[in-house]
Structure 1
């Protein structure tokens, strides 16, 4: 295991170095930046700011400065927000994590339950309704579902707030603050769960159907085990093994934010900040966030490989 981890960490560092170079060049070679695109600044002020922030230096020299600072935990300074990039991450990323973690939990729980029952009752009316729901959830755009739920539950019924994280002017503290955040996050969590549950349910359903047909399941039934034990102790455990691979892709998704959902519900998350940075060409923030997602992706892939080996010792690292 130690040899494997050492080799993988070496590969990870090499991949991250290549990714950092590609990310920096992608934004650095894009025409324009925050200074040159700001029409409120005079030509003299633009030249002064470009000199101050080192934007007039050669690209490779700027990359060397950026990657050196990144190794010390400094991903740059947001010109649009006038704050360090890591400070902005701390302010916004946990709001996105709250939405993503909650919706991911409900998505996986519901997908496992529905997928198991649907596979066990294959071609029944329940399975047919599940398949119709799956394709509907995968086909309907997220903005349509979000706006439709806002119309029903916020505008017509007035049960839930239409957006934001807190009511405007709210000074709630303690449990009152928690309840207010829960009310505001209900609709975006429902939309994100509906969007994710379709493909994941289909994934678990197909895995369960394949496992149920295998010989060891027939052997377990022949031994007189209850159907509940056969399904959840033997079939489900083996059907979940391929799903471990998906965990590696969930990690960056937990912190990456949902661009469309956060925009629709005006949720103060990192996804909405990322989109705003695009419009003003705030490249330091864009580079820092993209590099952060690359780091999470590499770490998530390593974790999924290790967890797969732990769950199934037959798999060699």
Structure 2
């Protein structure tokens, strides 16, 4: 009989040291692949951002000329000022240079730098969408895990049914209903804007005024999107409920709430990571409807006003910013998922 000799500590350490460079190399290859994909997406965004808006009906210079009388010489001078008299390929080259220097030109409507306008309207959008995202994620995951743990029971049917109903409702329609009922009929909340004309000047009163304006648009966004988190969490947790490691945890005498919170939920959360990052980017880009309905002074309302122009520099700048946010969020989702799920690291 051959005696088996256990590996020495030094041999195990040597094997671990050999695996470390392989893991590092795998990570850098993965990162390079994802960065390459993000770069290609960004190039496509820039191309689409230029050519798509050139196809929009309407001539911004002609609209300006209709609003105030202008001579043919003044119209020609205005076209030259905006660079619209140049061939399309020259306009495209200038647009590429402007994008990489974050200089999107001057807004036709606001007569201000597009970069300054986006910077000014960016933070109200972050306040609105960030608050809505936190509430929607918390509510959706909390309801989702409890619906899964009570799968098929009354709580599960009610939570799933209500969330799917709200998910199916058009955002603008729900926003208008809330605005008319709670703002117009009951007068519980302001009907638009971010601040009241007679807002308090003290810090606490000013914050309270902004919060009051924030309630209805946040409820509108949360009601429409929290179902995504609920359904993903519910389905993921249902798949985990009969896993062997949960049976082992129960056999150790752990209570059901501990089995759920310490073992099942952390594993079921993995599929929601990608959804969270993607949804944050989508919320920012999809704020156009809510901000327009509630006259919220953010990027969404700014984009809506630009469409009516059409204000081409502002449209192109907003489109590039929105798309870049979505691309970055998708990249972060891929990187975070790889760190959280060992199966992706081994792939």
TM-score normalized with structure 1 length: 0.93
The residue aligned with 1:18 is 44
Q: Which one of the candidate residues 27, 31, 36 is aligned to 1:5?
A: 31
RMSD: 1.9
What is the rounded CA distance, in whole Å, between the counterparts of 1:146 and 1:32 in structure 2? 30
> How far is the alpha carbon of 1:128 from its aligned partner?
1.5
Contact 1:97 1:254 in 2 (8 A): no
Residues 100 and 253, structure 1, Cα contact 8 Å, conserved in 2: no
Structure 1, unaligned stretches of length 5 or more?
none
Q: Which runs of 5+ in 2 are unaligned?
A: 1-26
Cα pair 1:95 1:269 within 8 Å, conserved: yes
Which of these residues, 83, 102, 125, is aligned with residue 73 of structure 1? 102
- What is aligned with 1:259? 288
Which residue of structure 2 lines up, in the alignment, with residue 280 of structure 1?
Answer: 309
How far residue 124 of structure 1 moved from its aligned partner, in angstroms, is 1.0
Call closer, same or farther: CA 1:148–1:10 in 2, change over 3 Å.
closer
- Secondary structure of the structure 2 residue equivalent to 1:315: helix
Task: Provide the residue aligned with 1:191 in structure 2.
Answer: 220
- Structure 1 equivalent of residue 123 of structure 2: 94
Q: Is the 8 A contact 1:163 1:184 kept in 2?
A: yes
Report the Cα distance in structure 1 between the residues aligned to 2:258 and 2:129, rounded to whole angstroms.
32
Once residues 18 and 160 of structure 1 are traced to their aligned partners in structure 2, the CA distance between those partners, rounded to angstroms, is: 42
User: Aligned-pair distance for 1:125?
Assistant: 1.2
Deviations 1:226-276 (A, max 9, x none): 212211121111111011111331342353352222122111111111111
Q: Distance in 1 between matches of 2:295 and 2:44?
A: 35
Deviation track 1:193-251 (CA, whole Å, cap 9, x = no partner) reads: 11111232122111111111222222222222221221112111111101111133134
Tell me, in whole angstroms, the C-alpha distance in 2 between the residues paired with 1:293 and 1:165.
21
Match of 1:139 in 2: 168
Look at both structures and tell me which one has the larger radius of gyration over its CA atoms. Answer: 2
Q: How does 1:20-99 map to 2 (within 5 A)?
A: 20-38=46-64, 39-40=66-67, 41-42=69-70, 43-99=72-128
Matches of 2:218 and 2:54 in 1, distance apart? 36
Q: Which residue of 1 aligns with 2:341?
A: 312
Q: Please give the TM-score of this superposition, normalised by the length of structure 2.
A: 0.85
